[in-house]
Structure 1
Amino acid sequence: MPKRYRESIADACDNNLVATIDLHSPCLLIYTQDEWEVIERKLMALPNMDPNARLVQRMLLGYASEIEMDSQGRLLLPSLLREHAKLDKQALLLGQGNKFELWSQDAWDQQRPEMLTQVQTLEVSGSLSSLSL
């Protein structure tokens, strides 16, 4: 974890984080414990009889793992999560507001050109129309 985030993470959640898979990309999502609890409540509120909701619950909750950041800012990730994100030696951490995305450098390098093309050609939906940068 980059040094600039360590103090705020320690203050927010006493270094307790939760990592799970991203459903759309070969990366991991890392939340502070309190942020994860919000997500978990939303997931558990989904209707169990909806097969799509059950699948999302199964994947996000099933892969969720509590992890602790040590004093050096290191995170010990379970092998199942490392395999999903194809994490090896080089990794990239992206801040995403209420969470981080953890990518292998190779996966990021492979996905980035496609993501840039997609964002440049996407149609602006209602939820994005009010966004001004």
Structure 2
Amino acid sequence: MLMGEYSHNIDPKGRMIFPAKLREGLGMRFVVTKGLGERCLAVYSYEEWDLLAAKIKNLPMSKARALQRVLFAGAVDVEPDKQGRILLPAALREYAGLQKDVVVAGAANHAEIWDKDQWLAECSKLDEQEIAGIMEELGL
């Protein structure tokens, strides 16, 4: 399970250190693509990527096409270098609005890379009552 929140910077070449704890859960190589419905990047292990691809393949073609275009067209295979850095292509950085300060967050079966300010704004959207309501739905 991928969890935790990590602050990092993107260097002028578009590289960032990807957190070691999350690399352990993702493997030596993993996939970075556009986040679904949010301006962030999603990071999947190849095992999770294959599961996602299989689920999309089983959708009606009219729904599958849009998801395939978003997820697969911009996806990149990533292998961290010896310093644990990954290269984020300019198109993906632009999509997610990533400049310099980023947050990498574990999200159970995948990780997400957010612009730091956008992450803080996103986190502030859920208030305590909403969180309590969701936890109640889950029986917690």
Normalising to structure 1: TM-score of the pair?
0.77
Residue in 2 that maps onto 1:85: 96
Residue in 2 that maps onto 1:31: 44
Identity %: 35
Cα drift, residue 35 of structure 1: 1.3
Report the RMSD for the aligned CA atoms in angstroms: 2.4
Contact 1:93/1:100 (8 A) holds in 2: yes
Flag the structure with higher helix content.
1
Contact 1:17/1:69 (8 A) holds in 2: no
Return closer, same or farther for 1:59/1:122 CA change in 2, 3 Å cut-off. farther
Cα drift, residue 83 of structure 1: 0.6
Q: From 92, 95, 100, give the equivalent of 2:111.
A: 100
Contact 2:31/2:49 (8 A) holds in 1: yes
Flag the structure with higher strand content.
2
Residue in 1 that maps onto 2:67: 56
The aligned amino acid for 2:53 is E
Runs of 4+ residues over 6 Å off in structure 1: none
Distance (whole Å) between structure 1 residues aligned to residue 51 and residue 114 of structure 2: 23
Higher relative contact order (CA 8 A, sep 6+): 2
Residue in 2 that maps onto 1:73: 84
Secondary structure of the 1:29 match is strand
Q: Give the aligned length.
A: 122
Cα drift, residue 37 of structure 1: 1.2
1:6 aligns with 2:26: no
Contact 2:57/2:64 (8 A) holds in 1: no
Distance (whole Å) between structure 1 residues aligned to residue 109 and residue 40 of structure 2: 16
Residue in 1 that maps onto 2:130: 120
The aligned amino acid for 1:18 is V
The aligned amino acid for 1:74 is R
Distance (whole Å) between structure 1 residues aligned to residue 94 and residue 84 of structure 2: 21
Structure 2 unaligned segments of length 5 or more: list them: 1-17
Cα drift, residue 27 of structure 1: 0.5
The aligned amino acid for 2:130 is Q
